[in-house]
Amino acid sequence: MKKFLNLAGSLMFLGLMGMMILGCNAQPTETEAETHFDFEPKIEVVDNPQNLNENLVFVEQRSQPNYRIAQFDPESQKISTLFEIPKGGWVYQLDVSADGTQVALAYSAPPENDQSLLDRSGIYLLDLAQVDAQPQLLVGSQQVDVYYAYPTWTSDGKFLYYEVSNTTDSKYFIERYNTETGEVLRIVDNAILPQPSPDGNSLTYFQIQPESEMRSLMLSDADGNNVQEIIPGYAYYDLDCPVFSADGQSIYFTVLEDPLASIHWIDQLFGTHVAYAHAKHNLPADWWQTSITDIRPKKITEQSIITHCGQFSNEGEHFGFASNEGIYVMSSGENEAHLILKSRAIPVFDWMP
């Protein structure tokens, strides 16, 4: 019986090998030859229900030569390239200056001598007025595992706020760069995601609890003094994406869905649920808003979208945010966002003045 099974197994193996050989030599049919798979994300321009009159600048994370900083004109519905990100380079975030002439980038330049620079980054400036301009380093570090992120201009263009993190010792802090003098001022420790108010007099950010990484939404003056807690960290499951309203009187932020909310109580009791990484923030969220003088948070959207960042348009008429589905936009005061550009390759965007 064992010999029979061994013989059957050998014949089956030879048959499979023959089929593989025949498959390799077989010529594809016309239909098969035309069929191919393209896993590159594409950008689909969706109808413009918001009647936008400001262009959108965004990062398109695709393979070269399509890994780029691009601009979308909603009137013509055309997408143009502002900067082709070179091979080995990486743009994490961007922010366009109020006059539209420069883009501040959290950027890792292409490596030299095949040395990886993915563990290093800096704040760079890209001059849009120059043809074929390259990002110029403004502030950075050669220390491994030091990251510069979330550059944000003040409306007068005098200052750039940004976040610095050292993943080796888990330190986070916010700095401010003076574009006139080159002075760097450390604003606040254990803090991330700085956002200055439209008038430049206030700053909102998240205070981080070092042990738990719990985030509390804070408000201070431009130098980091006179700190006020707006939303305590224990109030919601998790917070992200703070941004001032166009008039500076409110702060918008996202509240992430609690992944335990849909888990059976027995699983919660015995701890058999899936653990989520806090830093990734790859959970659906909705936008909330609160006045800075009358702190009563209220939910704005009911769409549960994985959100990356949000910005009010320069004229204050629209609010938009990047997501894992593309760029969404809604009119000020509206509670439903509409998909403008459909793509899973747009992690960050800003408005072009």
Question: How is the beta sheet containing 250-256 ordered, strand by strand?
Answer: 239-244, 250-256, 285-291, 298-299
d(CA 1, CA 8): 11
* The residue to which tokens 């509390």 are assigned: 216
The pLDDT of residue 135 is 95
Beta bridge partners of 228: 219
CA 259 centroid distance within chain: 21
The domain 46-352 having CATH identifier 1.10.3720.10: the answer here is no
Number of helical (H) and strand (E) elements in the chain, helices listed first: 3, 25
Identify the band that residue 35 occupies on the pLDDT scale cut at 50, 70 and 90.
very low
Q: What is the mean pLDDT of the chain?
A: 83
**Burial group, residue 349, by CB count within 10 angstroms (0-12, 13-18, 19+):** buried
User: Pick from 158, 50, 180, 177: which is nearest to 98 by CA?
Assistant: 158
pLDDT at 23 over 60: no
Q: What is the pLDDT of residue 213?
A: 86
Residues 6+ apart with CB under 8 A from 327: 56, 58, 72, 320, 321, 339, 340, 341, 343, 346, 349
Q: pLDDT of 158-200, one tens digit each?
A: 999 999 998 888 889 999 999 999 999 999 999 999 999 999 9
Peptide bond into 65 cis (omega under 30): yes
Count Cα atoms within 13 angstroms, Cβ side, for 200. Answer: 12
Look at the chain and count its residues. Answer: 353
Enumerate the domain spans of the chain: 46-352
* For the chain, percent of residues with pLDDT exceeding 90: 61
pLDDT at 46: 85
Q: Residue 208 pLDDT more than 90?
A: yes
| pLDDT at 37 > cutoff 70 | no
Please tell me the predicted confidence (pLDDT) of residue 40. 58
What pTM did the predictor assign? Answer: 0.82
Q: Say yes or no to pLDDT of 229 above 90.
A: yes
Residue whose pair of structure tokens reads 């040395």 in the numeric block: 115
Q: Which residues pair with 84 in a beta bridge?
A: 68
Q: What's the rounded Cα separation, in Å, for the pair 243 and 44? A: 27
